[in-house]
């Protein structure tokens, strides 16, 4: 089963939702937040019309715990972090609750480490990452992984550009600004996913 297609502006909204509390999130026209499965780190969205699920994995928060998770990634021990174990547990629950739905994982920064690992384990149909945290040794993507990144983003600088990668021009010299999910706004609205990723 392949993944679905989603407009780039919706990718931004769903990805940014992973940084919000459930109580602060309103359902969208065609996407409903699964409040039973969604946590502070993972948001689960269901599109009933298309029978698609979008699982959004948030990036790093300014906590010691999250920075230790980043260190675990650098030393090759991320699978053993509680952050990854929690995300994988949610993913398994999503698959159990929506067994006939297409599942697309969205990730930003550290969240992209999670999406790629879940994909390697065959637990998702598709991945769409924004400015993914990338080590040189982990730079290659599977064919069902799509990436949006700013050319000025240092966190994803080792990402290997392929046909599913869309790089947007950097507008500032500020690496924090260039790392934000907002860089998606620099894309013209387009469909992303399942071969629908349009290159300019």
- All structural domains of the chain, each given as residue ranges with its CATH number in brackets, are 6-192 (3.40.50)
- Whether residue 81 contacts residue 69, with contact meaning beta carbons closer than 8 Å, is answered with yes
The 3-state secondary structure of 22-68, one letter per residue: HHHCCCCCCCEECCCCCCCCEEEEEECCCCEEEEEECCCCCCHHHHH
pLDDT of residue 199: 34
CB of 17 closer than 8 Å to CB of 46: no
Supply 79's token pair. Answer: 């699978």
Q: What is the pLDDT of residue 136?
A: 93
Q: Are 8 and 106 in contact (CB under 8 A)?
A: no
Determine the pLDDT at residue 198.
36
Distance separating alpha carbons of residues 73 and 67, to the nearest angstrom: 10
pLDDT of residue 4: 64
Asked whether 78 and 84 are in contact (CB, 8 A), the reply is: yes
Per-residue pLDDT at 200: 32
Detail the DSSP E strand segments found in the chain.
6-7, 32-33, 42-47, 52-57, 102-109, 126-132, 145-150, 165-168, 191-192
25, 17 contact by CB (below 8 A): yes
What's the CA gap between 41 and 59, in Å, rounded?
8
Token couple for 91: 């993913």
Per-residue pLDDT of the chain (200 residues; tens, 9 = 90+): 455 678 999 999 999 999 999 999 999 999 999 999 999 999 999 999 999 999 999 999 989 999 999 999 999 999 999 999 999 999 999 999 999 999 999 999 999 999 999 999 999 999 999 999 999 998 888 999 999 999 999 999 999 889 999 999 999 999 999 999 999 999 988 888 874 433 33
Predicted local confidence at residue 68, as pLDDT: 96
């Amino acid at each position: 089963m392949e993944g679905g297609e989603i407009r780039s502006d919706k990718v931004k909204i769903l990805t940014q939702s992973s940084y919000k509390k459930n109580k602060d999130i309103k359902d969208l026209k065609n996407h409903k937040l699964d409040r039973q499965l969604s946590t502070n780190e993972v948001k689960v969205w269901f599109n009933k019309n298309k029978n698609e699920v979008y699982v959004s994995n948030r990036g790093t928060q300014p906590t010691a715990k999250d920075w230790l998770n980043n260190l675990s990634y650098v030393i090759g021990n991320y699978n053993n972090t509680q952050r990854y174990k929690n995300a994988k547990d949610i993913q398994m629950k999503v698959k159990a609750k929506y067994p006939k739905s297409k599942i697309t994982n969205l990730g930003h920064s550290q969240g992209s480490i999670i999406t790629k690992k879940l994909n390697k384990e065959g637990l998702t149909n598709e991945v769409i990452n924004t400015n993914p945290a990338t080590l040189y040794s982990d730079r290659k993507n599977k064919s069902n992984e799509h990436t949006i990144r700013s050319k000025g983003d240092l966190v994803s600088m080792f990402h290997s550009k392929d046909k599913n990668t869309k790089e947007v021009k950097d507008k500032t010299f500020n690496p924090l600004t260039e790392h934000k999910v907002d860089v998606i706004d620099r894309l013209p609205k387009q469909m992303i996913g399942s071969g629908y990723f349009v290159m300019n």
